[in-house]
Amino acid sequence: MSIIYNKASKTITLHTRHTSYQMKIGNLDYLLHLYYGPSICDADMSYQVMQYDRGFSGNPYESRNARKFSLDAQPQEFTTQQQGDFRTASIEVVNSDGSYSYHGKAVDFKITKGKYQLETLPCVFAAEGDTVDTLEITLLDAVSKVQVILLYSVFEAADIITRAVKVKNAGIESIHLKKIMSVCLDFLNGSDLDLISLPGRYGQERQVERQRMTHHIHTIGSVRGSSSHQQNPFVMLCDKNATEDYGKCYGFSLMYSGNFLAEAELDQYDQLRLVMGIHPKQFVYEIKPQEVFEGPEVVMAFSEHGFTGLSHLYHDFYRTNLCRSKFVKDVQRPVLINSWEAAFMDFDDVKLVNIAKAAKKMGVDLLVMDDGWFGKRDDDNSSLGDWYVNEKKIKCGLHKLVEQINDLGMKFGIWFEPEMVSEDSELYRAHPEWAMQIPGRHAVRSRNQLALDMSRKDVQDYLIEKVNTILDTANIYYVKWDINRSITDIWSNEMPADKQGEVYHRYILGLYRVMNEIILTHPDILFEGCSGGGGRYDAAMLHYYPQYWVSDNNHPIDRLKLHYGTSFVYPVSTMGAHISDSGKFVPLKTKAVVAMCGTFGYELDATHLTRKEQKLCKEQSDLFRKYYHIIFEGDYYRLSNPFELGNMTAWQHVTKDKTEALLSVVVTNLTCNGPQEYVKAKGLEPNYMYTINNSKEAYSGAALMHAGLPIDREVPEYSSFQFYLKKK
Ligand code: GLA
Nearest CA to ligand 1 atom 11: 532
Contacts of residue 387, defined as CB under 8 A and 6 or more positions apart, other chains included, come to 374, 375, 416, 418, 466, 467, 469, 470
Which of 484, 549, 553 for mutating ligand 1's site (highest number of atoms within 8 Å of CB)? 484
What is the rounded (10 degree) CA torsion for 244, 250, 255, 256?
-90
Determine the Cα–Cα distance for residues 366 and 511; give it in Å rounded to an integer: 27
CA distances from 610 to 124, 224, 607, 619 (A): 46, 43, 8, 14
278: CA distance to ligand 1 center in Å? 27
CA distances from 548 to 356, 461, 526, 530, 722 (A): 23, 24, 11, 6, 25
630 by DSSP, 3-state: which?
helix
pLDDT higher than 90, residue 672: no
Determine the Cα–Cα distance for residues 551 and 542; give it in Å rounded to an integer: 15
386-443 pLDDT, tens digit per residue, is: 999 999 999 999 999 999 999 999 999 999 999 999 999 999 999 999 999 999 999 9
Determine the Cα–Cα distance for residues 38 and 482; give it in Å rounded to an integer: 41
426, 581, 613, 685: which is the annotated catalytic residue? 613
Map 143-211 to HEC letters.
CCCEEEEEEEEEECCCCEEEEEEEEEECCCCCEEEEEEEEEEEEECCCCCEEEEECCCECCECCCCEEE
Q: Is the CB of 109 under 6 A from ligand 1?
A: no
Q: Are 80 and 141 in contact (CB under 8 A)?
A: no
186 labelled catalytic: no
Determine the Cα–Cα distance for residues 56 and 70; give it in Å rounded to an integer: 10
Which of 447, 482, 536, 550 for mutating ligand 1's site (highest number of atoms within 8 Å of CB)? 482
Give the pLDDT of residue 714. 86
Q: Are 184 and 273 in contact (CB under 8 A)?
A: yes
Based on the number of CB atoms within 10 Å of its own CB, is 494 exposed (0-12), middle (13-18) or buried (19 or more)?
middle
Q: For the whole model, what pTM was predicted?
A: 0.98
682: CA distance to ligand 1 center in Å? 36
Q: Is the CB of 370 under 6 A from ligand 1?
A: yes
Ligand 1 atom closest to Cα of 370? 10
What is the amino acid identity at position 713?
Answer: R
Indicate the pLDDT class of residue 1, thresholds 50, 70 and 90: confident
Q: Are 337 and 368 in contact (CB under 8 A)?
A: yes
Q: Give φ, ψ of 197 to 5 degrees.
A: -135, 175
44 labelled catalytic: no
Give the pLDDT of residue 674. 87
Give the H or E element holding residue 111. strand 105-113
Alpha helix (H) ranges present in 634-671? none
Indicate the pLDDT class of residue 460, thresholds 50, 70 and 90: very high
Nearest CA to ligand 1 atom 12: 371
Determine the Cα–Cα distance for residues 525 and 355; give it in Å rounded to an integer: 22
Q: Is the CB of 371 under 6 A from ligand 1?
A: yes
Which of 201, 346, 369, 415 for mutating ligand 1's site (highest number of atoms within 8 Å of CB)? 415
Nearest CA to ligand 1 atom 2: 532
Look at residues 194, 200, 134 and name the one whose alpha carbon lies nearest to residue 163.
Answer: 134
Strands 160-169 and 292-303: antiparallel
580: CA distance to ligand 1 center in Å? 14
Q: Is the CB of 530 under 6 A from ligand 1?
A: yes
Ligand 1 atom closest to Cα of 531? 8
76-111 pLDDT, tens digit per residue, is: 999 999 999 999 999 999 999 999 999 999 999 999
HSE of 61 in the Cβ direction (CA atoms, 13 Å)? Answer: 3
Indicate the pLDDT class of residue 712, thresholds 50, 70 and 90: very high
Residues forming beta bridges with residue 184, ordered by sequence position: 275
538, 603, 635, 677: which is the annotated catalytic residue? 538
pLDDT higher than 90, residue 671: no
* Domains (range + CATH), the chain: 3-321 (2.70.98.60), 336-454+476-512+523-628 (3.20.20.70), 648-727 (2.60.40.1180)
Q: Is the CB of 484 under 6 A from ligand 1?
A: yes
Nearest CA to ligand 1 atom 6: 371
Determine the Cα–Cα distance for residues 287 and 98; give it in Å rounded to an integer: 14
Q: Is the CB of 415 under 6 A from ligand 1?
A: yes
Give the H or E element holding residue 130. none
Q: How many percent of the chain have pLDDT more than 70?
A: 100
